[in-house]
Amino acid sequence: MSENKTTTAVTDKAAPAEGRPLLEVKGLTKHFPIYGGFPFKRQVGAVQAVDGVTLDVFPGESLGLVGESGCGKSTTGRMLTRLLEPTGGTITYDGRDITHAGRKELAPIRSEIQMIFQDPYASLNPRQTVGKIISGPMEINGINPPGGREARVRELLETVGLNPEHYNRFPHEFSGGQRQRIGVARALALEPKLIIADEPVSALDVSIQAQVVNLLQELQRERGIAFVFIAHDLSIVRHFSQRVAVMYLGKVVEIADRDTLYEGPRHPYTHALLSAVPETDIDAQKRERIRLVGDVPSPIMPPSGCRFRTRCWKAQDKCATEEPPLVQISGNKPGHLTACHFPEDPTTAAADRKEDVVMDPALQALEKDVKHA
């Protein structure tokens, strides 16, 4: 069985051990400068939004990027599409270094990497018709598909489940879910190899979210487009991505294939995230209860060493002085990387943990009262 697995590793998207990655990211860093002082403004600090992110995206796979607000997942996405200029590190697309590529160098690559934005109300120009919005990328890249651009746009509208007759309508005539479909059609217009989807469904109602997730999944499977799926909702990422990377304060803390990450995470932060997801199944096997203290610290002055240590229940002196590298720690499968000095057991069941982890002082106090009473 195990022999079988190794030979089919190429087709098994969960662990793409072989083959050249479509996008290679090494040590990617983005620091936004903060200026202050009078009369001459000088740099007084930096928001360390992304700090040394290393990832690979393989052709046709979907990589999920999860984390809480301010962890740098959107900034990472924007650097991958080169909407932002990285401060450091390298981005290699299909063997070419595009980290600091200029406009001219990027031009041929732009059509292969597309983006879907979070807010379908802000990302469509209200003064352009749907036809104009979707044909925009073709116009810019000088692409004239057989049958003309209009025919292509109508075809795209049909692909994303909209009526091709709506070619001449304006964005305000559509609902949120339909607008997001227009955004998807625009991203598809150039037949990209890689789509960066930045929270594509979080602005939508629950019943509409599923429609858009299904559409994206269908496109990904049928057209073999690689996706970087950025979201804060762990359930949706699980549904959409074969591999998942968890980010915290500008760093990737854990990356693994879907089943490993959701069933056998090692990083304490991944444990905390999973335990916080509210589930509708009230009879499901009890998951461990971990309640962190406070919010994510400021990326202007991130904690030394391991960035999660200020909220971690396992933190020791070593965590403050030494930054844990993102490596395959002992006990991990190949492809499962964790950045932690004192990793957790790979289980999320409540039964395997002796006591709930409650870091929040208010909860501690209240729960003590209740127990005593």
Binding span for another protein by CB under 8 A among 4-12, 135-143, 149-157, 208-216 = 208-216
- Minimal distance, residue 121 CB to another protein, in Å: 13
| 304 touches another protein (CB under 8 A) | no
Binding span for another protein by CB under 8 A among 84-92, 107-115, 121-129, 293-301 = 293-301
Cβ proximity to another protein: between 104 and 371 the closer is: 371
| 282 touches another protein (CB under 8 A) | yes
- Minimal distance, residue 46 CB to another protein, in Å: 20
Distance in angstroms (rounded) separating the CA atoms of residues 187 and 162? 15
Binding span for another protein by CB under 8 A among 56-64, 75-83, 119-127, 278-286 = 278-286
User: Looking at 22, 234, 337, 339, which residue binds another protein (CB under 8 A)?
Assistant: 234
Binding span for another protein by CB under 8 A among 112-120, 145-153, 182-190, 288-296 = 288-296
| 239 touches another protein (CB under 8 A) | yes
Cβ proximity to another protein: between 8 and 69 the closer is: 69
Please report where in the chains the tokens 């720690």 appear, as a residue. Answer: 329
- Minimal distance, residue 54 CB to another protein, in Å: 24
Distance in angstroms (rounded) separating the CA atoms of residues 40 and 37? 6
User: Looking at 11, 37, 95, 284, which residue binds another protein (CB under 8 A)?
Assistant: 284
| 222 touches another protein (CB under 8 A) | no
Q: What is the DSSP-derived secondary structure letter of residue 114? A: E
Q: Which residues contact 185 (CB under 8 A, 6 or more apart)?
A: 134, 153, 156, 157, 159, 160, 162
Count Cβ neighbours within 10 Å for each residue of 244-278 and write b for 16 or more, e otherwise.
bbbbbbbbbbbbbbbebbbebbbbbbbbbbbbeee
Sort 130 into a burial class: Cβ within 10 Å, 0-12 / 13-18 / 19+.
buried
Binding span for another protein by CB under 8 A among 28-36, 184-192, 199-207, 315-323 = 199-207
What are the residues facing 337 on neighbouring strands?
255
Distance in angstroms (rounded) separating the CA atoms of residues 90 and 29? 9
| Residue closest to 81 by CA, chosen among 123, 131, 117 | 117
Distance in angstroms (rounded) separating the CA atoms of residues 283 and 294? 29
88 φ/ψ angles, rounded to the nearest 5 degrees:
-155, 170
- Minimal distance, residue 152 CB to another protein, in Å: 26
Cβ proximity to another protein: between 137 and 171 the closer is: 171
Distance in angstroms (rounded) separating the CA atoms of residues 144 and 152? 9
Binding site residues, another protein, CB under 8 A: 68-69, 175, 177-178, 205-211, 213-214, 217-218, 232, 234-236, 238-239, 258, 262, 272-284, 287, 291-296, 360-363, 365-367, 369-370
